[in-house]
């Protein structure tokens, strides 16, 4: 029925039905990108978790395959939880995952392709020596999961991390380091890193980023002076993915964050909206690092059961170090996404007077790629902002302000999925704030509070601050709109905000785009280009 399908996405990865959560084991192998994911084959709520599997040649169009891993051994009978892939030196892949055992403990196991010459890797075999890593003494086997991609240290020994909680009372989020000489058996060595008060660390990710700031990614085993390392953790208490850039000290296997204020779990987030349990991989085909994240629903469990599905995978993002800092990453949709571009409209130098709402003529709908640049507002150019602000601060500001508030420079920005009468709209906007201590700050918000007339939705306003450099000439937004997901990349990906919305009326031809300015000074939208996005091609699973 129509209700069930109007909010399904058209160019995001989703299984054809049921519940999905974390991305698992992404990799590139023999011409195919592989994506595994946490999947409930029996319904649209979390449970009965197995690894779904799909492949793509371009990270845009997908082919569903049979599930890769199901629980059928004592050590994983209750569920195949999250894990990662490693490409071994001979080019063949291995995956490491968390099994939920018959005794309800978490324990790490390995699986290998049955046939390495099948580029689709359709059949996986569990290693005979499973399980290969058990919870160390003194740690809780309920909080011991999500092995990372393995890397080789300077001594040639393999290493990987498992997320845990080291606090006996209270929490010390921690990443446990395991080592292996032969990739067969794994031994707990020490903690790579921990941060008190950050909750259980789920889905850790640990990888190098190139210091040259090039878009080029680095293979996971690279270390030394040409790279910094990123430690990402998914903070179970907060349900956000936090990252910290720092130095991997190979001599004693520790991680030193560039700034203690920006340590894992307390500093920067990949995304200031809904985005969790993400995982990256090095794409050796195009020498870049790519990140997938789980984007949960913002409606109720009942609504998920009714519509028969839950969750969307984020558009894959390329990720690299912002070479003007040693602390911040940039994330941007993979270049392949533009292959979905259809018809576009483009407008130059649209002046937005105080109180203006300008409808963008000639285009509408629920599948859009929007790029808008605004001329720098008339203010003393914002200096490089120290990034030590707590993530939550921006979100608070967005929640307390609104796109209607009239407080100086901004709010100005874009309404998407907006009806002509503004009964429904999702506002993405900038606001320039003066902070006594820190000077000008550029806030960016994605506000769902008016996104739908339907009840029982999480209509929070998400947001954060964005870095603006002295020589920036524009404030820019790239907004991907796909029915029930809106992903916003600010200033070329220095800040990212993902949200879920469920319009009842802003559908198809009734879903419009407006540029608006609710501030007290005029703003110019120097360039606005909007494309209709074509739907991706999904090949459903069939045995042949
Ligand atoms: N989801 C998985 C766990 C992981 C959590 C279970 C994060 O392995 O810690 O579905 O969303």
Q: What pLDDT does residue 1 have?
A: 41
Ligand 1: residue whose CA is nearest its atom 7: 277
For residues 329-337, average pLDDT: 98
Segment 125-179, tens digit of pLDDT: 999 999 999 999 999 999 999 999 999 999 999 999 999 999 977 799 999 999 9
Catalytic entry in 16, 22, 118, 283: 22
Ligand 1 mutation target, pool 22, 40, 47, 71, most atoms within 8 A of CB: 22
* Residue 2 falls inside a structural domain: no
Q: Is 21 in the pocket of ligand 1 (CB under 6 A)?
A: yes
- In this structure, the answer to whether residues 277 and 153 fall within a common structural domain is yes
Give ipTM to 2 decimals. 0.99
CATH number of residue 501's parent domain: 2.60.120.560
- In this structure, the answer to whether residues 313 and 383 fall within a common structural domain is no
Segment 262-321, tens digit of pLDDT: 999 999 999 999 999 999 999 999 999 999 999 999 999 999 999 999 999 999 999 999
378 is in which domain, residue-wise?
Answer: 336-533
- In this structure, the answer to whether residues 349 and 313 fall within a common structural domain is no
The pTM (predicted TM-score) of the whole model is: 0.96
22 is catalytic: yes
- In this structure, the answer to whether residues 269 and 223 fall within a common structural domain is yes
Instruction: Report how many helices (DSSP H) and strands (DSSP E) the chain contains, helices first.
Output: 3, 37
Q: pLDDT at residue 8 above 90?
A: yes
Q: Are the C-beta atoms of 369 and 477 separated by less than 8 Å? A: no
Q: Is 482 in the pocket of ligand 1 (CB under 6 A)?
A: no
Instruction: State the Cα–Cα distance between residues 468 and 167, nearest whole angstrom.
Output: 38
Q: What pLDDT does residue 390 have?
A: 42
- In this structure, the answer to whether residues 129 and 265 fall within a common structural domain is yes
Q: Are the C-beta atoms of 54 and 33 separated by less than 8 Å? A: no
For residues 465-477, average pLDDT: 93
- In this structure, the answer to whether residues 153 and 195 fall within a common structural domain is yes
Q: pLDDT at residue 3 above 70?
A: no
> How open is the CA angle 479-317-400, to the nearest 5 degrees?
45
Question: When comparing pLDDT for 516 and 401, which is higher?
Answer: 516
Q: Work out whether strand 124-126 and strand 106-113 pair parallel, antiparallel, or are unpaired.
A: antiparallel
Q: Is 81 in the pocket of ligand 1 (CB under 6 A)?
A: yes
For residues 3-17, average pLDDT: 89
Which of 333, 361, 376 is where one domain is finished?
333
């Amino acid at each position: 029925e129509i209700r069930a399908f109007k909010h399904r996405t058209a160019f995001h990865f989703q299984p054809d039905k049921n519940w999905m959560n974390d991305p698992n084991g992404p990799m590139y192998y023999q011409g195919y990108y592989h994506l595994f994911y946490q999947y409930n084959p029996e319904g649209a709520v979390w449970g009965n978790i197995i690894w779904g599997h799909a492949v793509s040649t371009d990270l845009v169009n997908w082919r569903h395959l049979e599930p890769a891993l199901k629980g059928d051994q004592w050590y994983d009978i209750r569920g195949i939880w999250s894990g990662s892939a490693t490409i071994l030196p001979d080019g063949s892949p291995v995956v490491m995952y968390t099994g939920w055992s018959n005794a309800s403990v978490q324990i790490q196991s390995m699986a290998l392709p049955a046939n390495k010459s099948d580029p689709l890797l359709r059949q996986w075999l569990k290693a005979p020596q499973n399980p290969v890593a058990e919870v160390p003494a003194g740690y809780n086997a309920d909080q011991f999961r999500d092995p990372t991609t393995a890397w080789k240290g300077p001594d040639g020994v393999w290493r990987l991390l498992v997320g845990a909680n080291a606090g006996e009372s209270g929490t010390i989020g921690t990443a446990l380091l395991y080592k292996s000489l032969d990739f067969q058996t794994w031994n707990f060595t020490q903690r790579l890193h921990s941060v008190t008060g950050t909750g259980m660390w789920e889905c850790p990710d640990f990888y190098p980023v190139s210091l040259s700031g090039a878009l080029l990614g680095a293979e996971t085993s690279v270390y030394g002076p040409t790279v910094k390392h990123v430690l990402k953790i998914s903070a179970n208490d907060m349900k956000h993915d936090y990252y910290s850039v720092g130095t991997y000290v190979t001599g004693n296997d520790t991680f030193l964050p560039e700034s203690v204020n920006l340590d894992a779990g307390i500093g920067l987030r990949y995304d200031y909206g809904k985005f969790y349990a993400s995982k990256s991989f090095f794409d050796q085909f195009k020498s870049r690092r790519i990140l997938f994240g789980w984007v949960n629903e913002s409606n109720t469990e009942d609504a998920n059961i009714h519509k028969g599905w839950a969750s969307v995978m984020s558009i894959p993002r390329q990720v690299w170090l912002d070479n003007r800092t040693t602390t911040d990453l940039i994330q941007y949709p993979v270049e392949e996404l533009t292959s979905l571009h259809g018809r576009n409209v483009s407008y130059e130098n649209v002046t937005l007077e105080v109180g203006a709402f300008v409808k963008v003529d000639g285009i509408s709908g629920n599948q859009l790629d929007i790029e808008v640049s605004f001329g720098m507002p008339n203010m003393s150019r914002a200096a490089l902002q120290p990034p030590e602000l707590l993530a939550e601060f921006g979100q608070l500001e967005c929640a307390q302000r609104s796109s209607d508030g009239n407080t100086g420079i901004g709010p100005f920005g874009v309404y998407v999925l907006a009806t002509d009468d503004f009964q429904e709209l999702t506002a993405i906007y900038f606001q320039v704030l003066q902070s006594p201590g820190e000077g000008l700050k550029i806030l960016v918000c994605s506000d769902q509070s008016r996104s739908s007339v339907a009840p029982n939705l999480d209509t929070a306003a998400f947001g954060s601050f964005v870095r603006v450099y002295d020589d920036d000439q524009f404030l820019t937004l790239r907004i991907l709109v796909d029915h029930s997901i809106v992903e916003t990349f600010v200033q070329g990906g220095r800040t990212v905000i993902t949200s879920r919305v469920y319009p009842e009326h802003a559908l198809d031809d009734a879903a419009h785009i407006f540029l608006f300015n609710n501030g007290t000074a005029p703003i110019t939208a120097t360039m606005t280009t909007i494309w209709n996005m074509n739907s991706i091609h999904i090949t459903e699973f069939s045995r042949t």
